[in-house]
Structure 1
Amino acid sequence: MATPSTAEVRAGLPLALGEALAGYEEHLTAQRDLSGNTVRGYVGDAVRLLDHLARRGGQQPHDLDLATLRSWLAQGRTRGHSRSTTARNAASARSFTAWLRRAGLLLEDVGQRLVSPRPRRTLPDVLAPAQARDLVDSAAGAEEPVGLRDAVVLELLYASGIRVSELVGLDVDDVDRGRRLLRVLGKGSKERSVPYGIPAERALDTWLTRGRPALATPNSGPALLLGIRGRRLDAREARRVVHAATARVPGAPDIGPHGLRHSAATHVLEGGADLRSVQELLGHASLATTQIYTHVTVERLRAVHAQAHPRA
């Protein structure tokens, strides 16, 4: 028997629970201005939580209690959820119960007493500087428009450390070529300026003068990067470009755009940048998010020490 989709589960919720869910979704979209993917993630978790509540006999939002929250998380663990997934589900539940309390649908915020395991923070795969250089160089020398575009994708992702969604969202006017800056719209619609270097400048110049005009159509609009049909480049195609380039570099881990972002941040730190500057570069809301890159550099230092020191 096929597992029902989130939409099917949502449609089967009791009326009062469905109405509460709709209010929560409106709050996430209109008041918190979260991205579509983030809203879908939060709402999907809330759907599964409310479905669990309904199966336990709950019909109203105020039926949600701490025991139900704990039972829902425990059910996930029995189904094989990892610590990180369980922690994410718990965070989603706390967000939902906090809203229910503010909306007057719960007498107390039961989620405040919910304890969840801390996710294990795994160190991301990163390229060595030489591998990163080989990766971006692998697209150099292309003559056809798609090859020129792929070179820009690789150069800008590594030069700036921006997210792939930020990259494909760039318009031509977002590039300040005089100062070599990108105007990026990040998470939460926060705008920031990100610098890029001379190699990326050269790739951009070639793309804008020879590549983009060859692919542009009346439907291209202001998009900086275009697909083969002339529309704004899709993030999935940008990911394919990075994976294909990584495969051409001997010994390199198989990384996508996010791995290239990790690599850029690590190399900037290893080059002497301070953590606060890297936070600004990456557009992290919290410095704690950026601190994982210090763990990466320490691990690499330990590996070098173990390999090079005679008494390691």
Structure 2
Amino acid sequence: MSRSDRSTRAMHQALPPALREAVDDFAEHLSRVRNRSTHTVRAYVTDLVSLFDHAVRMGCVDLAELDLSVLRSWLARLRTTGAARTSLARRAASARAFCAWAHRAGLLSADVGAALASPRAHRELPSVLRADQAAALVDGPTRRVTPTDNPPAADLPNTHGAPTNPARTGRAAGATSGEAAVPLRDRVLLELLYATGVRVSEACGLDVGDVDHGRRVIRVLGKGGRERSVPYGVPAQRALDDWLHRGRPAMVGTHSGDALLLGARGGRLNPTTARQIVGAYAEAAGLPRTSPHGLRHSAATHLLEGGADLRAVQELLGHSSLASTQIYTHVSVERLRAAYRQAHPRA
């Protein structure tokens, strides 16, 4: 448990029983009814505990005493302690969501958070790779797939390549070795992230049965439990075929289950490890620091630059709001401006 988590827990336990119960009930509502992730629920709880800790300091010991002045005072205190605009915007959103729920549940006589304004978060344009850079990244593992290449070890990224012992998995003699299976796993991970633009958690959550080879689509379970189908191309299909026929059987273990992507010990690939894999191959290719989310940004930008419809990209990425997708149009415009400034004689 991190220091911030311990601090939040201590403040939670110090709250008056009524406020502590309200936090717990809202967390259960988010988890069971809204189907929010554990990470999202934890973020909401952290914000609410901070709010109620401030409210208690102002003399508000009962939920019915919570009003707009308390909410505004809380945000003002956060601002004076150096909280970023994005943090203030998120915490204000947490307060509004809680107050709306508490009003519907009859815990508040009015939705006091509805009038709470918050600083508009400055939204930076996501950094994206050029198409040739993305191709260089995705093709990185092919340097490790062919044993005859034998590149120097220093040239290869360390992507947790010690998989399950073949003797434990019952792998047949002559099959792909565990060491050779790692680049096949890395290759299919990179291909899927760039070809589909899925989130790293979505990629790691894929099961073998989620791949429709005939239609070349994967079934993805996104945020809020929303399911969508995302297409992928021929290169990703080839990577999937190699992985499923030669790679996965060499890494599969007793804890593999139906997981499509496997880690070193044969269990489902962890998103943290997937991030390390992407970063290692980007560094080995001499590319800017890149994450799975950077590949997602790149995929969306390249789709729009290639003429894809904004609504289609929204569906592919699993955005609930078109506003989340529209940021990629700004990326394309910025690239156009840069090209204009560089090429036009009167720019």
User: Same fold per TM (> 0.5)?
Assistant: yes
Any idea what SS the aligned residue of 2:142 has?
A: coil
The one-letter amino acid of 1:249's match is A
Gaps of 5+ in 1: none
Task: Mark the CA change 1:4 to 1:189 in structure 2 (over 3 Å): closer, same or farther.
Answer: closer
TM-score by length of 2: 0.87
Q: Which residue of 2 aligns with 1:82?
A: 84
Indicate which of 15, 33, 36 corresponds to 2:35.
33
In structure 1, what is the Cα distance between the partners aligned to 2:218 and 2:310? 20
Indicate which of 227, 230, 250 corresponds to 2:263.
227
Within the alignment, does 1:237 sit opposite 2:239 as a pair?
no
Structure 1 runs of 4+ with >4 Å offset: 1-4
Q: Which residue of 2 aligns with 1:278?
A: 313
In structure 2, what is the Cα distance between the partners aligned to 1:41 and 1:4? 14
Q: Which residue of 2 aligns with 1:178?
A: 214
Structure 2 counterparts to residues 35-50 of structure 1, below 5 A: 35-50=37-52
Q: Which residue of 2 aligns with 1:218?
A: 254
Q: Are the equivalent residues in 2 in contact too, given 1:194–1:281 (CA < 8 A)? A: yes
In structure 1, what is the Cα distance between the partners aligned to 2:4 and 2:303? 48
In structure 2, what is the Cα distance between the partners aligned to 1:253 and 1:296? 17
Any idea what SS the aligned residue of 2:261 has?
A: coil
Computed over aligned residues only, the root mean square deviation of the Cα atoms, in angstroms, reads 1.4
Deviation readout 1:176-205 (Å, 9 max, x if unpaired):
111111000011111111011111111111
Larger mean CA deviation between 37-46 and 261-270 belongs to 37-46
Deviation readout 1:264-288 (Å, 9 max, x if unpaired):
0000100010101101110111111
Q: Which residue of 2 aligns with 1:10?
A: 12
In structure 2, what is the Cα distance between the partners aligned to 1:30 and 1:229? 32
Any idea what SS the aligned residue of 1:192 has?
A: strand
CA shift, 1:101, in A, is 1.1
Q: Are the equivalent residues in 2 in contact too, given 1:126–1:253 (CA < 8 A)? A: no
Deviation readout 1:37-64 (Å, 9 max, x if unpaired):
1111111111111111111111110111
Gaps of 5+ in 2: 146-179
Percent of pairs identical after alignment?
A: 60
Q: Are the equivalent residues in 2 in contact too, given 1:159–1:196 (CA < 8 A)? A: yes
Structure 2 counterparts to residues 1-312 of structure 1, below 5 A: 5-143=7-145, 144-250=180-286, 252-312=287-347
CA shift, 1:33, in A, is 1.3
CA shift, 1:92, in A, is 0.5
In structure 2, what is the Cα distance between the partners aligned to 1:155 and 1:168? 13
In structure 2, what is the Cα distance between the partners aligned to 1:145 and 1:157? 19
